[in-house]
């Protein structure tokens, strides 16, 4: 009899459980507003750390929590360029010497092919 009751259904496609006698996890709702004026609410777990910023659902801009302030930006080191790393290894005199050697090699190669 039980086999007939499940005939014609896809296994795993439908849950036969119900929500009676279940307690949901405690939640909190947090309001955000983006720079373009969109206001929306995000539901988070009660014990979750609430972020100050969230991506706007409408436009993708950074939204700020309604009761919050802008987070402090951390001062970081500026990115090192290739030139900065090169100058850590060599002096300008060394670089001029290497350049002169490479130019001489290139000029010698052109003389042979011409």
Residues 65, 50 contacting (CB under 8 angstroms): yes
Find out whether 82 is annotated in a ligand binding site. Answer: no
Write b or e for each residue in 70-102: b if 16 or more Cβ atoms lie within 10 A of its Cβ, otherwise e.
eeeeeeeeeeeeeeeeeeeeeeeeeeeeeeeee
Find out whether 37 is annotated in a ligand binding site. Answer: no
Residues 57, 38 contacting (CB under 8 angstroms): yes
pLDDT of residue 84: 93
As a whole number of angstroms, the distance between CA 30 and CA 5 comes to 45
Check pLDDT > 70 for residue 63.
Answer: yes
As a whole number of angstroms, the distance between CA 27 and CA 112 comes to 79
Find out whether 34 is annotated in a ligand binding site. Answer: yes
pLDDT digits (tens, 9 = 90+) for 69-102: 766 778 888 899 999 999 999 999 999 999 999 9
pLDDT digits (tens, 9 = 90+) for 37-53: 899 999 999 999 999 88
pLDDT of residue 71: 66
What's the chain's average pLDDT?
Answer: 85
Find out whether 100 is annotated in a ligand binding site. Answer: no
């Amino acid at each position: 009899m039980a086999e007939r009751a499940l005939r014609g259904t896809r296994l795993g496609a439908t849950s036969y459980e119900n929500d009676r006698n279940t307690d949901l996890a405690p939640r909190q709702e947090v309001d955000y507003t983006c720079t373009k004026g969109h206001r929306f609410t995000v539901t988070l777990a009660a014990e979750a750390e609430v972020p100050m910023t969230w991506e706007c659902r409408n436009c993708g801009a950074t939204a700020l929590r309604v009761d919050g302030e802008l987070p402090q930006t951390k001062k970081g080191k500026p990115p090192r360029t290739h030139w900065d790393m090169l100058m850590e290894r060599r002096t300008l005199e060394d670089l001029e010497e290497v350049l002169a050697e490479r130019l001489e090699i290139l000029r010698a190669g052109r003389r042979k092919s011409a």
